[in-house]
Amino acid sequence: MAGLFLTLGDIKAIVFYASLMPVFMDLSVLDVPEILVVMSITIFSVGGVKVTYALFANKVAAYALRIKMENKAKKAAGTLMVCTGSYLIVKA
């Protein structure tokens, strides 16, 4: 829930929707029920995407813990950093 409220309070998202909303609908003719419908659709779509991301991240984290992937991930990240550093040294 904290992530959902953080997302819904994201200034970038608010500015994005506020700048695009007048392009798609005439805001001067909206009634209160129509405004509530637009707000509900926005909350559902943005919140739904973020909840989906959170659920998938939770599953990936649980899978990584279950197969004891931490040591392998550290080795892979270290190898990638060494290779990147070596490439930059050779390129310079």
6 Cβ contact partners less than 8 Å away, ≥ 6 residues apart: none
The rounded mean pLDDT for the chain is 83
C-alpha–C-alpha distance, residues 20 and 58, integer Å: 32
Q: Residue 3's pLDDT is what?
A: 64
The predicted model gives 33-57 an average pLDDT of 83
Proportion of the chain above pLDDT 70, given as a percent = 93
Q: Residue 1's pLDDT is what?
A: 67
